Amino acid sequence: MLWRYAFQRLLGAIPTLLVMIFIAFYLIHSAPGGPFDTEKTIAPEVRANLDRIYHLDRPLHEQFLYYLNSVVHGDLGPSFRYRDYSVNDLIGAGFPVSFKLGAVAMLLALVIGCGLGMLAALYRNQPLDYVIQLLSVGGIAVPGFVIAPLLILLFAISLRWLPAGGWETGRWSDLVLPIIALALPQIAYIARLMRGSMIDVLGSAYIRAARGKGLPTWLIVLRHAFKPAFLPVLSYLGPASAGIITGSVVVEQIFGIPGIGRYFVQGAMNRDYTLVLGVVVVYGALVVLANLVVDLLYAWLDPKVSY
Amino acid sequence: MIKQMIRLLFFLNIFFLVACDQSAKSDVASDISVLRKGNGPEPQTLDPHKAEGVPASNILRDLYEGLISEGADGQLVPGVAHHIEISADGTIYTLYLRETARWSNGDSLTAQDFVYSLRRSIDPATGSSYSQVLSSIVNVEAIIAGKLAVETLGVKALDDHTLQITLKAATPYFLSLLTHSTTYPVHQATVEAWQGHFSRPDRLVSNGAYRLADWVVQSHIALEKNTQYWDAQHSRIDRVIYYAIDDASQELQRFWADEIDWTESIPVGQVDWVREKFGNQLHISPYLGTYYYGLNVTRPPFKDQPGLRRALWLAIDRDTIVQKITAAGELPAYSWVPPGVMHYQSQPTADFKWSAQQRMAKARQLYQQAGYSAEKPLKLELLYNTSENHKRIALAIAAMWKDVLGVETELINEEWKVFLDHRKQLGQTQVIRGGWIADFNDAWSFAELLQSDNTMNNTGYANSKYDQLLSAASVESDLDKRQQLLQQAERILLQDVPIIPIFYYVSKSLIKPHVKGVEGNVMDHHYTKNLVIN
């Protein structure tokens, strides 16, 4: 039953992705200027050649059908900007970097966010709760492009513990600051969610019964309260993955991380049509997938939900 | 179950850290000499015939060597060609190539390689946006236009190590052009094997002092010493890494954190702070470029109004702009061609020597003569591409025009690609920001921009006298006579005021003291083979 549901959801995602590609395609093509507009003006014959090679001489709807056809065949096309690379090459190189960044940030957000939320709920209306609440409001309110330079100033320039940016293959220290910058807003949000739902759960009858049996608090929280209190956080993981993606666009740019978020920004500025569309396809598929996984986990965690 | 989840998370974390750590260990550290440079935006390609822009050129100069090269001071020095003979009329260049010149894969570099490469560079099928710079070679224009076959190009190999290039007319800057990436050789077998997509680390074969070792798009490009290079024993740096950092503030942070040795630029408005903080690590030197405003002379208010155009020229206090806004040693510009160009004395206008009061008085007089006054002010639109620097300059100039003349200027900023598209629309524009950097060290590189048929002339300026003088200069082999013709043309240009030069650029970089051998030069070209790390 569960597999059938998952399969149906995946099928349902196809029209969503198609509409997304359609909108993104026409939006990026409607932006003024093109990939081959540069400070220098190219000789008309050379320009005509380039347009022909990249099918830009065809009507837009033909270009769209041509693009769609190649996407269906697993080919995201050649990059208009990086002439020696295809979009598949670029995403193949950038996606693992972004994924590593996003996945660790998400794990961190979950572990620390839930931990802080539980603490705040247990010490409700006490100084620790106020401190956690204050920090989480700050974490939500202060955007990544403010946090990131502050982290760089402190850890890279003053303390010299970590690099200010860049990416050497496999050097873990490059990832620390970007992950923190990416995870902070999510930690803050999850902590607030967890606190609220944990307070609700702790007030319910079966928890009072557990207390009455004399079970220690940590056991009550971990064994009985965590699972139901985690459900709102789980529902948030879909939007959170979207938040991590949009956050990574900024964070990768600030730290010079060669992930697909950075391609997205640079691609849009360079009018690298295929690269932008390729990233849109990957992001779209990722968000659809993340939402599906959350829904499936829901069924697993909450006995009231079944498919 | 919770325990299982926690265990799983813990395991994943450990796995991740171990995986990272292992790959970090595989990067063996040693005491090789490494230069780390910030290099602005990511280059589009390292194919020398398709590449454009400063970031790509910086890397290509290390990867490839042209027939002619440049020393640390920017002076021309022999490259692959060790000896050159030029015919008396200046049109036939016979170049003798080093027999020791090799490709990075060990293949011998021959005159035939240059014939193949120059043909490829011109061939419209290659899609080079720079092929026009070679138009002084016989038949280039007809080949680009598709009217002649690429084999008719005026380049032939007399034998394996002798190349002959025939020009349409004497071109005094031709040797400078031979340092340009469009003239670099490419390895035919590699180009053909990869159908043109050869500039990747596992594929590229080059002939310069360095070879391509690694390229992580949007991160860095690493080059290693090319042991096959004919002069490899004099390359003292083993590895050079070019980082793609498009934000000057980020670049500064990484320099400050000792992660890079050389920055490509300095954040706008922070030159004073940088000078105070980093002292003599800040290197500033004149650069062959002019920052200017173009005036659209094909439509009102500037059409047939040279007096009004001159009034706007005079009302700009360039000293204030270079002292208070750019503040990095830029020089106020009163001519189109900057000082420092070879075989050329720049031609500043007379107001160069006037006092500020004189300029303002004359500006007001011309403004009134053009029919404008406080009651009937001139209204202008000033178009520039989005950038903090351009904005500050535009605000200052709009304020100067307002104070001195009462002109009401509306500032319009546009994102780069939108701006590129918009500035060509002569039916819409009025004042357009511009900056012109010489492709090669010759006054022609500036003069040609304002020719009536130049596709980059965004002002609509068309003066037949100017065009005639340039045509005459383009076939003049006597350097003095040629200089006179170009100077005369520049004087006419400045009299007509289709452009208002504002300042001459300087190049600004932060360079760590352990990088030795750096000499400022007007083209801002630095070859890693000329540098040493102590």
- Of A263-267, B112-116, B216-220, give the range with the top mean pLDDT: B112-116
Distance of residue B499 Cα from the nearest chain A Cα, in angstroms: 17
Phi, psi of B121 (to 5 degrees): -60, -35
Residue A110 predicted with pLDDT over 60? yes
**Residues 6+ away with beta carbon under 8 Å from B325:** B269, B389, B392, B393, B396
Distance of residue B43 Cα from the nearest chain A Cα, in angstroms: 8
**Chain A CA closest to residue B244:** A256
CB contact under 8 A, A37 and B420: yes
**Does the CB of A52 have a partner CB in chain B at under 8 Å?**
no
Residue B3 predicted with pLDDT over 50? no
For an interface test with B, give the residue of A47, A84, A146, A150 to mutate (most B CBs within 10 A).
A84
- Identify all chain A residues contacting B47, using CB atoms and an 8 Å cutoff: 83-84
Gap between the Cα atoms of B414 and A91, Å rounded: 29
pLDDT at B12: 38
**Long-range CB contacts for residues A241-246, cutoff 8 Å, separation at least 24:** A241/A102, A241/A106, A241/A286, A241/A287, A241/A290, A241/A291, A242/A287, A242/A290, A243/A185, A243/A186, A243/A189, A244/A102, A244/A105, A244/A106, A244/A109, A244/A182, A244/A186, A245/A102, A245/A283, A245/A286, A245/A287
Across the interface, of B217, B256, B419, the residue whose CB is closest to A85 is B217
Sheet with strand B220-225: strands edge to edge: B34-38, B239-243, B220-225, B210-216
**pLDDT-wise least confident of B135-144, B227-236, B358-367, B469-478:** B469-478
**Chain B CA closest to residue A224:** B2
Residue B19 predicted with pLDDT over 60? no
Asked if B126 and B146 count as a contact pair (C-beta separation under 8 A), the reply is no
CB contact under 8 A, B27 and A262: no
In chain A, the percentage of residues whose pLDDT exceeds 70 is: 99
What pLDDT, in 10s, does the model give residues B261-292? 999 999 877 888 999 999 999 999 999 999 99
**Does the CB of A94 have a partner CB in chain B at under 8 Å?**
yes
**Chain A CA closest to residue B38:** A166
Its ipTM equals 0.86
- Identify all chain A residues contacting B416, using CB atoms and an 8 Å cutoff: 33, 269
**Does the CB of A30 have a partner CB in chain B at under 8 Å?**
no
Gap between the Cα atoms of B136 and B119, Å rounded: 14
Total length of chain A:
307
Per-residue DSSP letter, B72:
T
Across the interface, of B12, B250, B415, the residue whose CB is closest to A254 is B250
pLDDT at B14: 37
CB contact under 8 A, B218 and A170: no
- Identify all chain A residues contacting B23, using CB atoms and an 8 Å cutoff: 169-170
**pLDDT-wise least confident of A37-51, B9-23, B414-428:** B9-23
Q: What is the mean pLDDT of chain B?
A: 90
Distance of residue A206 Cα from the nearest chain B Cα, in angstroms: 19
- By three-state DSSP, how is residue B500 classified? strand
Gap between the Cα atoms of A125 and B63, Å rounded: 65
**Does the CB of A92 have a partner CB in chain B at under 8 Å?**
no
Buried-state track A132-169, b at ≥16 Cβ within 10 A, e below 16: bbebbeebbeeebeebbbebbeebbeeeeebbbbbbbe
Residue B17 predicted with pLDDT over 50? no
Distance of residue A133 Cα from the nearest chain B Cα, in angstroms: 24
Number of CB pairs, chain A paired with chain B, less than 8 A apart: 168
- Asked if the peptide bond before residue A232 counts as cis, ω within 30 degrees of 0, the response is no
**B26 band by pLDDT with thresholds 50, 70 and 90:** very low
pLDDT average, residue stretch A23-43? 86
pLDDT at A307: 67
Residue B4 predicted with pLDDT over 60? no
Q: What is the mean pLDDT of chain A?
A: 89
> What's the token pair of residue B274?
């940088």
pLDDT average, residue stretch A119-127? 93
The residue that leads in pLDDT, A144 or B488, is B488
CB contact under 8 A, A32 and B422: yes
Gap between the Cα atoms of B29 and B25, Å rounded: 9
**pLDDT-wise least confident of A103-107, B295-299, B415-419:** B415-419
pLDDT average, residue stretch B237-264? 93
- Of A240-249, A287-296, B218-227, give the range with the top mean pLDDT: B218-227
**Long-range CB contacts for residues A48-56, cutoff 8 Å, separation at least 24:** A49/B124, A49/B125, A49/B127, A50/B127, A53/B127, A54/A78, A54/A80
Asked if B443 and B469 count as a contact pair (C-beta separation under 8 A), the reply is no
The CB-side HSE value for A157 (13 A sphere, CA atoms) comes to 15
Residue A143 predicted with pLDDT over 90? no
Across the interface, of A153, A256, A259, the residue whose CB is closest to B245 is A256
Across the interface, of B16, B198, B217, the residue whose CB is closest to A90 is B217
- By three-state DSSP, how is residue B37 classified? strand
Residue whose pair of structure tokens reads 């500033």 in the numeric block: B284
Gap between the Cα atoms of B132 and B144, Å rounded: 8
pLDDT at B5: 41
- Identify all chain B residues contacting A227, using CB atoms and an 8 Å cutoff: 1-2
- Identify all chain A residues contacting B26, using CB atoms and an 8 Å cutoff: 170
How far, in Å, are A163, A166, B256 from residue A156 at the CA level? 5, 12, 9
pLDDT at B30: 55
CB contact under 8 A, B124 and A46: yes
Residue B97 predicted with pLDDT over 80? yes
pLDDT average, residue stretch B34-58? 93
pLDDT at B28: 41
CB contact under 8 A, B244 and A256: yes
pLDDT at B192: 95
CB contact under 8 A, A100 and B417: no
Total length of chain B:
534
